[in-house]
Amino acid sequence: MKYAYYPGCSLEKTQRGYDESVREIFKALDQELIEIEDWNCCGATMYMSVRETVSLTVSARNLALAERMGLDILAPCSSCFTILSKTNRILSQIPEMHRDVNEALAEGGLTYTGATRVRHPVDILMNDIGLDVIKSRFQRNLNGLRIAPYYGCQIVRPDKTFDDRENPILLDRMFAACGAEMVYFPLKVRCCGGMLMTTFEDTALKLNKELLQCAIDNGAEAIVTTCPLCHFNLEGYQDRINKVYGTSFNIPILYFTQLLGIAFGLAPQKLGLDSSFIALGDKISTLAEAHYV
Amino acid sequence: MEHVAHTLPGLMTRTEAELHQAFLDQVKAIPAGERIRRCIQCGTCTGSCPVSYAMDIPPRQLIALFRAGELETIMKSRSIWLCASCYACTTRCPSGIKITDIIYALKRTVMEKQYHSKAHQVQILANLFIENLLSYGRLHEGTLIRKYYTRMGFWKLFGYIPLALRMIKTKRLAFFPTKINAHKSLSRIIKKAQEIEMRHIPEKSDYSPGFVGYKGIGNLTLEPRKGGNA
* pLDDT tens per residue across span B159-214: 889 999 999 999 999 999 989 999 999 999 999 999 998 887 766 555 555 566 66
- Contact: A14, B87; criterion CB under 8 Å: no
Question: Which of A11, A20, A35, A41 to substitute to test the interface with B, most B CBs within 10 Å?
Answer: A41
Whether the predicted pLDDT of B3 surpasses 50: no
* C-alpha closest to that of A53 among A21, A91, A18: A91
For residue A47, the model assigns a pLDDT of 66
Which chain B residues are within 8 Å of A187, Cβ to Cβ?
none
Segment A41-62 shows an average pLDDT of: 84
Chain centroid to CA A90? 23
- b/e per residue A95-122 (b: at least 16 CB within 10 A): eebbebbbbbbebbebebeeebebbbbb
B144: nearest CA partner in chain A: A198
Say yes or no to pLDDT of A282 above 70. Answer: yes
Name chain B contacts of A104, Cβ cutoff 8 Å: 189-190, 192-193, 196
* B148 contacts A46? CB cut-off 8 A: no
End-to-end CA distance of chain B: 42
This prediction has a pTM of 0.91
Distance from CA of B3 to the nearest CA of A (A): 33
Return the pLDDT at B199. 84
CA closest to B139 among chain A residues: A9
pLDDT (0 to 100) of residue B179: 92
pLDDT of residue B207: 54
Q: What is the least distance, in Å, from the CA of A93 to any CA of chain B?
A: 7
Mean pLDDT of all residues belonging to chain B: 84
Q: What confidence tens digit (pLDDT) does each residue in A145-168 have?
A: 999 999 999 899 988 789 999 999
Query: B130 vs A49: CB contact, 8 Å cut-off?
Result: yes
Lowest pLDDT segment from A86-95, A178-187, A270-279, B118-127: B118-127
Cβ pair B31:A90 closer than 8 A: yes
pLDDT, tens digit (0-9, with 9 covering 90-100), for A213-264: 999 999 999 999 999 999 999 999 999 999 999 999 999 999 999 999 999 9
Per-residue pLDDT band for B24 (boundaries 50, 70, 90) equals confident
| pLDDT bucket at B215, cuts 50 / 70 / 90 | low
DSSP assignments along A183-224, one per residue: PP-TTTT----TTHHHH-HHHHHHHHHHHHHHHHHTT-SEEE
Q: Show which of residues 94-123 on chain B sit within 8 Å of chain A, judged by CB atoms.
A: 98, 100, 104, 107-108, 111-112, 121-123
* Residue B126 C-alpha, separation from nearest chain A C-alpha, in angstroms: 5
Contact A239 B137 (CB under 8 A): no
Distance from CA of A38 to the nearest CA of B (A): 6
List the single residue in B with minimal CA-CA distance to A200.
Answer: B82
Is the CB of A203 less than 8 angstroms away from the CB of B51? yes
Q: Specify the 3-state DSSP secondary structure of B55.
A: coil
Task: Give the largest Cα separation in chain A, rounded.
Answer: 58
pLDDT over 70 percentage in chain A: 97
pLDDT of residue A72: 96
Q: Closest chain B residue to A45 measured between Cα atoms? A: B85
CA pair distance B103, B88, nearest whole angstrom: 13
Per CB-CB distance under 8 Å, the chain B contacts of A106 are 192
pLDDT in tens, A164-186: 999 999 999 999 999 999 999 99
Chain A positions touching B54 (Cβ under 8 A) are 200, 202-203
Question: Measured between CA atoms, how close is B83 to chain A, in angstroms?
Answer: 8
Chain A hits for B196, Cβ within 8 Å: 53, 100, 103-104
Poorest-pLDDT segment among A140-144, B10-14, B164-168: B10-14
Alpha helices (H) in chain A, listed in sequence order: 9-12, 16-28, 52-69, 78-93, 95-105, 121-123, 131-137, 170-177, 196-199, 201-217, 228-236, 238-245, 256-263, 281-289
CB-CB under 8 Å, B121 with A199: yes
What ipTM was assigned to the predicted interfaces of this complex?
Answer: 0.91
- Residues 138-197 of chain B whose Cβ lies under 8 A from any Cβ of chain A: 138-141, 145, 148, 162-163, 166-167, 170-174, 178, 180-182, 185-186, 188-194, 196-197
Tell me whether residues A40 and B182 touch, CB distance under 8 A: yes
- pLDDT band at B222; cut points 50, 70, 90: low
Report d(CA B208, CA B200) in Å as an integer: 19
Q: If we measure between CA atoms, which residue out of B5, B170, B75 comes closest to residue A269? A: B170
A chain contacts of residue B51, beta-carbon cutoff 8 Å: 191, 193, 196, 200, 203, 207
Chain A hits for B44, CB-CB cut-off 8 Å, are none
The Cα-based distances of A171 to A24, A74, B204 in angstroms read 18, 17, 52
